[in-house]
Amino acid sequence: MSPAEAARREDFRAILGLVKPGARVLDIGCGEGALLELLGHQKQVDGRGLEIQPANVALCLARGLAVVQGDADHDLDDFPTRAFDYAILSQTLQTVRQPRHVLSELLRVAERAIVSFPNFGHWRVRWSLMIRGRMPMTGALPQAWWETENIHLCTLRDFTQLCEALDLSIEACAALADGKPARAIDPMRAIENWRAEQALFLLSRKG
């Protein structure tokens, strides 16, 4: 992804809007480092990344980013408590083995977490299952069931319930769809669970 392409991605723009300048940021599942680079350029963050694919990590390092090869399930545990202002988990939660553990770890290592994921409650997903009897293939879920890395898909409602169970407060939530600008939503409203193709949350610990 070129820097120009990255700058146009609506989910990245939404994340940029949430991060304060100069913050310490950990991007988990940072891929080739496009978001980290964008955050560095536009928000002057002190950015670090965690990425599972060695080829991606090598690309990140060649771009001058500080990235560690590792996975969210195991390697977050090593980071000290509150080492970061933000932990970002962009389109990765549904691929980890232990989403609940990872989510609580995010809010141990950072003051705030920014989490985005495809909403399995979106009407197209429901339509595919109910009418066609097939696993959905949509814009947010473009791969067939046998090739996807997604192993823990959830709906907006599932996610807000997990946040409640972990005693997390939802500071902001936005819906993303088809490259349109992010739309602030109330994730508790049932209608949004139908309408949001992807959801982006800003979370913090309560109290």
Partner 1 sequence: MNAEKDATLDEGGGVARLAGPLRLDSGARLDQVEIAYRTYGRLNADKSNAVLVCHALTGDQHVAGRHPVGGKPGWWTQVIGPGLPLDPQRHFIICSNVVGGCMGSTGPSSINPETGKPWGLSFPVITIPDMVRAQALLLDHLGVETLFAVVGGSMGGMQVLQWAADYPERLFSAVCIAATARHSAQNIAFHEVGRQAIMADPSWNSGDYASLGGRPEKGLAVARMAAHITYLSEAALQRKFGRELQRDGLSWGFDADFQVESYLRHQGATFVDRFDANSYLYITRAMDYFDLAASYDGVLAEAFRRARHVQFCVLSFTSDWLYPTPESRDIVRALNASGARASFVEIDSDKGHDAFLLDEPVMRSVLAGFLDAAGSARGLA
Site for partner 1, rule CB under 8 A: 48, 54-55, 57-58, 60-70, 75, 78-80, 83
Tokens found for residue 29: 């599942």
Of 182, 160, 181, 180, nearest to 171 (Cα)?
A: 160
**Which residue, 75 or 158, is less far from partner 1 as judged by CB?**
75
Q: CB-wise, 1 or 58, nearer to partner 1?
A: 58
Q: In terms of CB distance, is 12 or 79 closer to partner 1?
A: 79
Is there a contact between 37 and 15 (Cβ–Cβ < 8 Å)?
A: no
Q: How far is the CB of 89 from partner 1 (least distance, A)?
A: 17
H helices of 34-189, in order, are 34-43, 54-62, 72-75, 99-109, 123-127, 156-165
**Contact (Cβ atoms closer than 8 angstroms) between residue 52 and residue 71:** yes
Smallest distance, partner 1 to C-beta of residue 54, A: 5
**109 versus 163: smaller Cβ distance to partner 1:** 109
Smaller CB separation from partner 1, 46 or 158: 46
DSSP strand E in 57-196: where?
66-69, 84-90, 110-118, 168-176, 183-184
Closest CB 33 distance from partner 1, rounded Å = 10
Centre a 10 Å sphere on the Cβ of residue 72 and count the other Cβ atoms it contains: 25
Nearest to 119 by CA among 180, 165, 176: 176
| Least distance in angstroms from the C-beta of 187 to partner 1 | 32
Tell me how far, at minimum, the Cβ of 41 lies from partner 1, in Å. 13
